[in-house]
């Protein structure tokens, strides 16, 4: 079963948007799932990230929903729920198999999801995805954010990984060009690109 794990250099960089683009693309080849292992800030009236990403193309699963819009461990403590890597993996493995699966983490790659300090890099190492996609906002500073996130991820996960540049606001041509050159110079694969408006996403690691 192909599994793609979507994480980010930070919160608010567009992980859910990218997960949705990926789910829509993979749904061409059959039934697809979008899984959010844990989501904090899942209050009444707010659409869940998995549902937003899944849209009409995929099946959505939120494994642990926490009301408080704070870090997952703090939100779990506030909700009096047990959150640790073993618990998330047990919930994840209980989801029925599908031809393809898109998994979206919460916050950045180093956000703790276990009282012992384990984070999304440990989760990725445990589920062994086909690839880890690190979403980085396409702006000035993206090279630094990408290099930090990838270097951190490599400490615990040794599988395929790359960056997806997502422009929340359109960068200048010079910034956009330098971001891509910087990734290439650092030998970091550019897995995809997306931007504001109706500009189509570009997948560099999948056939169009």
Are the C-beta atoms of 138 and 53 separated by less than 8 Å?
A: no
pTM score, two decimals? 0.95
Give the residue among 7, 17, 19 at the shortest CA–CA distance from 122. Answer: 7
CATH class of the 3-35+96-203 domain in this structure: alpha beta
Q: pLDDT digits over 142-166, tens only?
A: 999 999 999 999 999 999 999 999 9
What is residue 98's DSSP assignment? Answer: -
- Give the model confidence (pLDDT) of 62-88 as tens digits: 999 999 999 999 999 999 999 999 999
Q: How far apart are the first and last CA of the chain?
A: 20
- Indicate which residues carry an active-site annotation: 36
């Amino acid at each position: 079963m192909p599994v793609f794990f979507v994480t980010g250099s930070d919160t608010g960089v567009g992980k859910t948007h990218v997960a949705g683009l990926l789910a829509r693309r993979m749904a061409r080849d059959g039934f697809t799932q979008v899984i959010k292992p844990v989501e904090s800030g899942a209050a009444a009236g707010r659409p869940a990230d998995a549902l937003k990403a899944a849209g009409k193309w995929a099946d959505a699963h939120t494994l642990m929903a926490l009301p408080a819009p704070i870090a997952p461990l703090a939100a779990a403590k506030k909700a009096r729920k047990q959150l640790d890597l073993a618990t998330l993996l047990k919930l994840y493995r209980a989801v029925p198999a599908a031809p393809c699966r898109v998994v979206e983490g919460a916050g950045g790659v180093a956000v703790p999801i276990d009282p012992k300090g384990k984070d999304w890099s440990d989760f990725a190492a445990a589920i062994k995805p086909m690839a880890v996609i690190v979403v980085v906002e396409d702006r000035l500073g993206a090279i630094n954010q990408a290099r930090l996130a990838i270097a951190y991820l490599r400490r615990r996960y040794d599988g395929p990984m790359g960056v997806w540049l997502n422009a929340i606001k359109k960068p200048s041509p010079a910034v956009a060009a330098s971001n891509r050159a910087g990734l290439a110079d650092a030998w970091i694969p550019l897995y995809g690109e997306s931007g504001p408006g109706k500009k189509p996403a570009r997948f560099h690691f999948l056939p169009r």
